[in-house]
Amino acid sequence: MSAETVARTRARALHTARATRTAIAPFTDENPELGLREGYEIQRELIALLLADGDRVVGYKAGLTSKPMQAMLGVTTPDYGPVLASTVHPDGARIDLGDFIAPRVEAEIVFRLATPLRGPGVTVEQARAAVGEVIAGLEIVDSRIAGWRILLADTVADLASNGAVVLADAVPAKPDDDYRLLGMAFSRNDELVATGAGAAALGDPLAVVAWLANTLGEHGVVLEAGQLIMTGALHAAVPLAPGDSFVAEFDRLGTVRLDVAAGEGKP
């Protein structure tokens, strides 16, 4: 089979896994040499299938933005995937575990762009100028790869392991805000389980925005006004269990909450 046919076949496997909530074996089991390029080829084919289903891309997420996560997968750069409209929930959302396979949750800083960014060549200061709003966010990461046995190509193909996002009310961005120093306390069932600061995301969350603009720009993709930019976890992801409540309290951004229900999910 041609490389294009292989990518489409693997994308269809992921598409089915998402629809049925049934994990599949890592692609790197079959081909340990599978790399970043092949992972993004599969991702593009999967996005096409999801858009054909009626979904929309409303932004982008960056993953592997912290040094510990990069070290765990043996990489030195973040990865990215789309944020789909169907996965965005408001503050206080009640999440059904049956809608996921192996979900974990993490707190992160989310930006909404006021003006487009077209890379390559975007600087951190240009990224700052393009940001219109800042949002406290909770990302549910999920893996359609069995047991989270992922190498880089697996998670890239799987939309950077994106599952869902819960967003608080947006706060207007201020030109002098230093998002590196923006602190966060993360609690499960009223018990503090993690803390973090903006600098955990590539040293500066705005650097994540610039990186995304430049990386996507190499493929002719523009970050558009109004799009969400998820800048990466500020702490290690935490598993979800039935009845859990999670709250992230952000300096200057306020709080964002999600509750976990147990259920069968959608058929």
**Which tens digits make up the pLDDT trace of 83-112?**
999 999 999 999 999 999 999 999 999 999
What domains are there in the chain, each with its CATH number? Answer: 3-261 (3.90.850.10)
Least confident of 72-81, 114-123, 151-160: 72-81
| Residues 9-51 pLDDT 10s | 999 999 999 999 999 999 999 999 999 999 999 999 999 999 9
Mapped onto helix, strand or coil, the DSSP state of residue 241 is: coil
* pTM recorded for the entire structure: 0.94
For the chain, the farthest-separated pair of C-alpha atoms sits apart, in whole angstroms, at 54
Contact assessment for residue 26 and residue 154, using Cβ atoms and an 8 Å cutoff? yes
Strand extents, DSSP E, the chain: 57-63, 79-84, 88-90, 93-96, 104-113, 131-141, 162-167, 171-172, 183-188, 191-197, 228-233, 238-239, 245-250, 254-261
Give the tokens for residue 115.
């003006």
